[in-house]
Amino acid sequence: MSVFLQLHRQKAELKRSNAALFEFARAVSHGLQAPVRHIRLWTELLIEEDGAELSDDARMKLKKL
């Protein structure tokens, strides 16, 4: 098998692999959006409703979420 043919096949395989990796990354990203949004909303609700009872340190840590 010629070097050119090997490179051509490797390039095609790399393109397929990159496409599969891109689709996986997109699916994972999409799958994590809802849980992250829920964490953010619950954190905001906790700060809003119980923030006065939290220590300054706890409130600061929640705001970083």
For 16-48, what is each residue's pLDDT tens digit?
999 999 999 999 999 999 999 999 999 999 999
pLDDT at 1: 72
Q: What angle do CA 33, 21, 25 make, to 5 degrees?
A: 5
- Please state, in angstroms and rounded to a whole number, the distance separating the CA atoms of residues 5 and 65: 52
Q: Is the whole-model pTM more than 0.75?
A: no
User: Using alpha carbons only, how large is the chain's radius of gyration in Å?
Assistant: 23
In this prediction, residue 17 carries a pLDDT of 98
Q: How many domains does the chain have?
A: 1
Structural domain including 7 reads 3-64
N residues, the chain? 65
63 confidence band (pLDDT: 50, 70, 90):
confident
Read off the tokens for 3.
């070097």
Closest CA to 43 of 21, 18, 14, 65: 65
Please tell me the predicted confidence (pLDDT) of residue 65. 83
